[in-house]
Chain A
Amino acid sequence: MSFIVRKLIVNPKIPGDEYLSVYLACDRRGWCGMGGGPKFDRRDFVKILGAFGVVGAGGGLAIPIVKYMMPEIPKAYSYPQTRLVWGDGRPVRASDLEVNKIYLFNYPLHSTPNFLVNLGDERGEPVGVRVKLYTNMSPLNEEPIIFKLGQTRLVEFNVPGYGREYVVEGVGPNKSIVAYSAICQHFGCPYPAMKFYPPGQQVPLARSELVVKGGVIYCTCHGGAYDPYRGAAVLLNPPQRPLPFVKLEERNGELWAVEVLGATVFGKFCNTCAAEEGELVGSETVVREV
């Protein structure tokens, strides 16, 4: 390394000279300065000034160009307060949701689908969730927690991580009803590439023994896995952000979506950024069975 540096900055034609400036001030014949010594004359100085000026101007244009190119970020609306309804208009009640079955609904935009699941164990008994986690985390590289629960009916857990802290808490009589974004945080593969496999259901093409028994949200695009019982924390990389959590509320027995917590929904600048209000779901959104 020092050899390369010496080669770059030492002028071999002048014994003992180890300054880049000397090298720069020498002409093609190796003739340096007026008296043959290390001398930088005014002309050389101005040449270097000129070069810096041109490079500086080129670099200085970069910021205006990027600022010009930057698209206008659409307005962030406030989260719509949205009632979940079935296709026939009936409101969705906690008791309507079968355990371990996948339901889908769009929120907060028409273009952002979410899973709605009444989480349960292998026997179909509901399992509640109250988990604290962060918007960024290291993949846990563990089995989904549902297989280690034993007789506990409520998962209370703190997932370590970075960034903003938030709490995922289920609704319904058993606190077992949760909703997560159905768009993978890695490269944006949506349902059905990414879906929920209830505990006991074999995950086809699973890339790791850890997730093969189900109890996970698994993405077949690049093998990312999330634990829905731990607030959709990341089990297997490549994703390193938990799935955004759609906060639900029970109002007079009906389910309402009120907010999105955690990381931003994949591909969105912000969760409610929209060119016009019509892109948001409004006061009702339809829940579909799949």
Chain B
Amino acid sequence: MSSTLKKLYDLLVERLGLDRLPLRSVPYSYVSVEFWLGAIVAASFMWLAISGLLLLLYYDYTNPAEANRRLLESKPFFRPLLTSHLMAANLMILGAVAHFVRNFLVGAYKKPREAMWIVGVIAGFLALQAAFFGYASIGDKIAIEAINIGSGFVSNSFGEYFGKILAALAFDVTESTRYLRTVAIHVAFAVLLGVVFLLHFILFEAQGIHPSPRETGWRDEPSKIDETRKDMAPWFPVNLTYIIVVTFGVWGFIFTLSAFLQGLGWVHQLLYQLPIFEGTPEGEMARPMPPWFLVYAFKLFQLTFLYLPEPLKIPVLGLEIYGFSALPVFIASFVLPILVLAIIPFMARRGSTHPLDNMAAATVLGLLLVYLAQLTIWGAVTLSFHTTFTAIVVFITPILTLVPGLQMLRATMKGEDINKPMIRFFSLSLIAIALPFATLIATRGYESDTGMGDAITGLLGVVFSLIYLSLIAFTVFSGESEPKTGEPRQLDLPTPLIAVAIAELFLVLFSAISLALINPLANPILASALIGLLLTSAYGVAHIALRALTLHGKPLESLGSELVPHMLVVLSLAVLIFVA
């Protein structure tokens, strides 16, 4: 860096106060994706806000389906923008799930971070609400069904009278202004979500990052990082650079994945990226099914034994209000999961952040996750009704596998005799595997798709439980390795990494020029892929710049592991070649 540039840089840092911002910094070894899953969610949210405001410029509430159809054909870059908005929503919810599972596994939900956990759960709930009103605003076949089912759901859950008022508040009563209301509520939920996000960040600033179990040995004290330790990376420039790196990586991934799925075309309704219009081949194939993150509720709606057998009669202000038949379904789909998540911090035991030392919380959370996964697959593959008995089998198989599995893992960790827990785990799991088959034979379920779907879902209960158990086992046993110390420090980047940076910079230029030259209306998928490549290669260059900043705190590893983050650029390039 020439001395003039250096002077300018120092002046900027000094005048802007960048080196003494009142923001939490983290140790160098924490600058990795494991500790930054929340940043993935935040970056997706940021893209949702940006693309959402851009989409709003052309939103036509009088006939959004027709407007979308027209804009997709006539407005340059409308299709990459719309598909990226939808993909960012998917990625944000996926990222949020990963974020909270990880924070559970390492015990970051415990004292003093209970409030942060609960605010996070509220943010998740608001995200689902915002997402619902978002896809209800598209005006396509799915949106029409969403509004229909949504209004039916509230009127059956809260009594006919209040239900009608709620439905009118959410979806209007005149169709000509309906979508203005849904889009306004969508934006309102997004803004509210932003406020709750901010609160989540403020709480992070209050408590700092949760210390890695590798350092604490799974003890819950100290619960905070010692700010005076020597390996703290300064917020500026390290933390800020990593935020930029993650943001570009996430944005690039959004466009890349969206381009890939658009290139695949119609594989399954849940993977289809464009609005599904009536009167098209897709409209013929589509079932009234919500996006994947609400399929679990869609499946719960079909479990008819969850509805009240008789309507309730509740006297309010001299009126008799009837109905409430769907109230148990409402509680099962939107109240219970949130309540269970919110009380997780209070089920924890003192002393250890280890999931196997907090068995109640680990069991409840595990079952919740497995049930949600089961219901999602169940809803995606079967559209039909189930007897109470087959449904009980579906919900019992995870209990038979997960509970003894956790006990076995705990015995292994404690070094106790594991023969008994192991025998119990294997025998109960065998029963769990046998149960769906037995039900299949007893109810002659093999004769229908529904019976087969039920059996498969029952078996998936075992599979998902095993995945959860291996997640816990992986976290536990990978946490035991000691951090590497005393290695010779190399303070310069090797030539291959610099070559990669130059190549990625070239890719930035290449994709920028290509984007200017291509016809985005004729090649909308190519446009998505190019934007993806543009952003991921910028991410790649920025990542190497970050390594230059963190070298003295985080020593260089083998070239192979240093190149792992750049696989995202390779992925984008591969997708570009695939769609071109």
| A interface list, Cβ under 8 A from B | 66, 69-74, 135-139, 162-163, 186-189, 205, 207, 221-223, 236-241, 263-264, 266-267, 269, 273, 275
Contact = CB atoms under 8 A, between A and B. Distances in A.
A162 B172 contact: no
Contact of A73 (B173, B177, B288, B301): B173
B169 A66 contact: yes
Given A66-B169, A74-B174, A240-B325, A188 B151 contact: yes
Contact of A275 (B153, B176, B288, B322): B176
27 contacts: A69-B169, A70-B165, A71-B173, A136-B322, A137-B311, A139-B310, A162-B320, A187-B148, A187-B149, A188-B149, A188-B152, A189-B148, A205-B384, A205-B385, A221-B288, A222-B302, A223-B304, A223-B385, A237-B307, A238-B304, A238-B325, A239-B325, A240-B308, A240-B311, A240-B325, A267-B148, A269-B168
Contacts of B176: 275
Contacts of B164: 269
B323 interface: yes
A162 B386 CA distance: 29
B576 interface: no
B289 to A, nearest CB: 11
Contacts of A269: 164, 168, 173
A162 B174 contact: no
A207 B386 CA distance: 7
Contact of B148 (A72, A73, A188, A207): A188
A269 B160 CA distance: 10
Nearest to A71: B172
Interface string B320-337: 101101100000000000
Contacts of B307: 237-238
Given A71-B172, A138-B311, A267-B152, 4 more contacts: A70-B165, A71-B173, A136-B323, A187-B148
Interface in B13-53: none
Q: Which of B301, B304, B308, B313 has the most CB of A within 10 A?
A: B304
B560 interface: no
B83 interface: no
A238 B168 contact: no
Contact of B152 (A137, A187, A205, A237): A187
> For the side of the interface on B, what is the size category?
35 or more
Nearest to B168: A71
A241 B152 CA distance: 12
Contacts of A221: 288
A209 to B, nearest CB: 11
Given A187-B152, A207-B385, A267-B151, A275 B304 contact: no
B174 A275 contact: yes
A277 to B, nearest CB: 14
Interface in B116-163: 148-149, 151-153, 156, 160
Given A138-B311, A188-B148, A205-B385, A71 B181 contact: yes
B156 A186 contact: yes
Contacts of A72: 173
A226 to B, nearest CB: 14
B177 A71 contact: yes
B152 A136 contact: no
Contacts of B384: 205, 207
B309 interface: yes
A35 to B, nearest CB: 35
Contacts of B151: 188, 267
B304 A222 contact: yes
A275 B165 CA distance: 18
A162 to B, nearest CB: 6
A221 B173 CA distance: 24
Contacts of A71: 168-169, 172-174, 177, 181
A66 B166 CA distance: 10
Contacts of B386: 207
Interface in B306-356: 307-311, 313, 320, 322-323, 325-326
Contact of A162 (B148, B181, B322): B322
A70 B313 contact: no
B569 to A, nearest CB: 46
A237 B174 CA distance: 29
Nearest to A238: B307
Interface string B162-192: 0011011100111011000100000000000
Nearest 5 interchain pairs by C-beta: A207-B385, A187-B152, A138-B310, A136-B322, A238-B307
A275 B175 CA distance: 9
